[in-house]
Chains A and B, each alone.
Chain A
Amino acid sequence: MVSAAGPVTVGFIYVGPRQDFGWNQSHWDAAQKIAAIDGIKVVEQENVPETAEVEKVIQSMIELDGAKVIFGTSFGYWGSIKKMAEAYPDVLFTHIGAIWKDGDPKNVIGYRGYTEEAHYLCGIAAGRMSKTGKIGFIGSKPLYFIYNNCNGYVLGARSVNPDLTCNVVITGEWNDPVREAEATNSLIDQGCDVIIANVDSPKVSVETCEKRGVYSCGYHSNLGSLAPNGFLTGAEWNWASGAEFVEAFVNGKPYPNLKRGGFKEDMVGLSPFGAAVPQEVRDEVMAAKQALIDDTLQIYSGPLNDNQGNVILKEGEVISNSDTPFKLGVKFFVEGAVG
């Protein structure tokens, strides 16, 4: 696919361990997919802190390994990536924040998937599988995409069970396994029987659910192996879509500096269903996925209230799934979310 003299070296830099059952693993999945492309060689380095070290790692990859493309997979690498992009104008850099703006180096790409679409699908599965009519959402920080993910999850669930409610807990940290376990247990004690955790690594939460005998959904990467009994499905990134940038860059074709997308653009994914999910639920979820791909299903569509009773969208008002400015401004939980 990639046609250039000799293999193109692509460097992946991770902030944590590659096999973390979470954020870093979603990028590792992408690295493996990209490495499988003909003519691409991948070099990887994990546990690179967001300090001066990342710049040295980038330089080392470029000068010692001959890397032509660098995937910086942690948000905090942004400053270093911009700096290195100016120093190495013939190397392509990608960053996962999608915060590139005019004036930033042209050899930098920001890209990010709309994971709320995948959460919507998880919500459908959760809504069908919940016996108590109560599901749970654990969030890390009160940020726009966490709100969106939670809203997608709740809206998906209520699309199949309008009376369902979702208890929401925000831990405040990306990575705080103790709080995550406590939150999971307390949600289960409150009667929630499907739980999804939006934290760096949902491993603890998924395992706790399995131990307590309730269903769970994954986030970031495929966590099915952690919960053979209770795993339903999961909202995944598809960072491997960055392969198209590599290809365009190597062949001298134009590429965007900023890209966001959902299922339609193949930038998010859904984990394989767990054994607990019956066929009719699978079919229903896959139909919704197809509707997202065809753009016939919009996640935010009126009438829609937030959980304080304020009207967000009136009857007939619809927000396009690709309306990034709207999504960046989301600071509310939709009706049905509790807490």
Chain B
Amino acid sequence: MGSAFHKSAEAVAINAAAFAITLGLFGVYVAALGHNPFDVYYILYLGSFAKQISIESTLTNAAPLMLTALCTAIPARAGLLVIGGEGALVVGGVATVLVGVLLGGWPFWAGVLVMGLAGAVAGGLWIAAAGAMRQFRGVNETISTLLLNYIAIAIMYHLISGPIRDYDRVLKTSSWSIPEELRVGVMSIVDVHWGLGAGIVACLVLYVLMRRTTFGFGVDVLGGNQRAAQMAGLPINRMVLICCFFGGAAAGLAGAFEVMAVHGFASESLVVGFGYAGILVAFLARQNPAAIIFVAILLGGISASGGLLQRRFDLPDATTQVLQGLLFVVVLASNAAYGRFKIFQPKEVQPS
């Protein structure tokens, strides 16, 4: 029983407490609106996890969040605050379309692989560019990735309203479509598209990379103290660029799956806030790639049940945003609780 066990027990206990406190506060909020909190809790459960269809709905919402959360979480381990998931997703989606339209007649797996790679590489380079600007030109990466979001969206609007516009789609401005035979379907076990599988795999692979390899250890050192990393002779620039690339690639992949599995083309429907919700997921997961899977599912569940809350109680759509916001604030505040409870501290080694 090392300190690792104590640490994860502490994290689980504190997050569970934070979640319980959030639900309590949310209960006060809905009670103030004149509803029985326990009815509301039941509907939250019914809409998110109680039935096959609820679970599928939750997982469908969670899929893109896992990937966009990595866009914040991976660079964060190297000490960067990247909020460019929205832009990387859009760039990835557009790249997927640009490559996809050339792949008519390709075998399914090869086509999907190439499109996925295109999306990932585009998103990766997009965020890596922000990393490079930081390392070589001293540009604050938070500001630059935020602005890059707007640039990415503007580029997409430019492309879909001119150069790659499909004029047959009259009412909604959209790009050309990728070949129908290369559209990705749902997974065989649950009725959720393959973006979920990709998200889980990406989280696990990056978890291993960040927590179980020398590279990941080096990144943690860098994230902890850049000076120390420099003193230790770590290749800081390269590590930052790689982290940014992986993070951006994950968000780009989210865009690729939005195109391959959901829309078939790029349009303003790519810009629905998955990137920004991903930031929330990354922070709630404390930048831990494996924890992102669970947090994304939790938040996916909250938004999945939001619809049912609207329908059953006539609550406004913003209600679930209140819940998400409360959760965010409480979890951030609960950071102060780490190290305060004796039970979670490893027994001190007695000096002999």
A interface list, Cβ under 8 A from B:
11, 17, 43-53, 55-57, 59-61, 63-65, 75-76, 79, 97, 141, 143-144, 172
Contacts and interface: CB of A to CB of B under 8 A. Distances in A.
Interface SS, B side = helix
A49 B171 contact: no
A45 B307 contact: yes
Contacts of A48: 307
Given A52-B262, A75-B171, A76-B172, A64 B51 contact: yes
B171 A46 contact: no
Given A44-B310, A49-B272, A65-B311, A60 B171 contact: no
A45 B310 contact: yes
Contacts, number: 72
A79 B304 CA distance: 20
B54 interface: yes
Nearest to B172: A76
A47 B56 contact: no
A63 B310 contact: no
A47 B317 contact: yes
Interface hub of A45, A75, A79 (most chain B Cβ within 10 A): A45
A59 B60 CA distance: 12
A13 to B, nearest CB: 9
Contacts of B308: 60, 64
B172 A52 contact: no
Given A51-B262, A64-B47, A17 B317 contact: yes
Contacts of B170: 143-144
B171 A51 contact: no
Nearest to B264: A79
Nearest to B270: A51
Contacts of B311: 11, 43-45, 61, 65
B50 to A, nearest CB: 9
Given A51-B262, A75-B172, A79-B264, 18 more contacts: A11-B311, A17-B317, A45-B317, A46-B310, A47-B317, A52-B60, A52-B193, A57-B57, A59-B56, A60-B307, A63-B51, A63-B53, A65-B311, A75-B171, A76-B172, A79-B263, A141-B173, A143-B171
B57 A56 contact: yes
Nearest to B43: A64
Nearest to B311: A43
Contacts of A49: 269, 272
B81 interface: no
B262 A57 contact: no
Interface string B258-277: 10011110010100100000
A-B complex: 10 closest residue pairs judged by Cβ atoms: A56-B57, A43-B311, A47-B317, A49-B272, A75-B171, A45-B307, A52-B262, A50-B269, A63-B53, A52-B60
Interface of B: 46-47, 51, 53-54, 56-57, 60-61, 161, 170-173, 193, 258, 261-264, 267, 269, 272, 304, 307-308, 310-311, 316-317
Contact of B54 (A46, A60, A141): A60
Contacts of A97: 171
Interface hub of A47, A52, A61 (most chain B Cβ within 10 A): A52
B56 A52 contact: no
A48 B267 CA distance: 16
Interface hub of B46, B263, B272, B307 (most chain A Cβ within 10 A): B307
A50 B317 CA distance: 16
Interface hub of B57, B161, B173 (most chain A Cβ within 10 A): B57
A56 B193 CA distance: 12
A172 B46 CA distance: 42
Contacts of B51: 63-64
Nearest to A144: B170
A44 B54 CA distance: 17
Contacts of B317: 17, 45-47
A57 B307 contact: yes
A51 B304 contact: no
A146 to B, nearest CB: 10
20 contacts: A17-B317, A44-B311, A45-B310, A45-B317, A46-B316, A49-B272, A51-B258, A51-B262, A52-B193, A52-B262, A53-B61, A55-B60, A59-B53, A60-B53, A60-B307, A64-B46, A75-B171, A75-B172, A76-B172, A143-B171
Contact of B272 (A44, A46, A51, A60): A51
B269 A64 contact: no
Contacts of B310: 44-46
Contacts of A59: 53, 56-57
Contacts of B258: 51
Contacts of B53: 56, 59-60, 63-64
A249 to B, nearest CB: 21
B54 A52 contact: no
Contacts of B261: 52
Given A43-B311, A63-B51, A143-B170, A56 B46 contact: no
A69 to B, nearest CB: 14
B174 to A, nearest CB: 9
A45 B304 CA distance: 12
A60 B264 CA distance: 24
Contacts of B269: 49-51, 76
B335 to A, nearest CB: 31
Contacts of B173: 141
Contacts of A56: 53, 56-57, 60-61, 304
A51 B274 CA distance: 11
Contacts of A11: 311
B54 A64 contact: yes
Contacts of A63: 51, 53
A56 B263 CA distance: 15
Given A45-B310, A52-B261, A65-B311, A60 B57 contact: yes
A11 B308 CA distance: 12
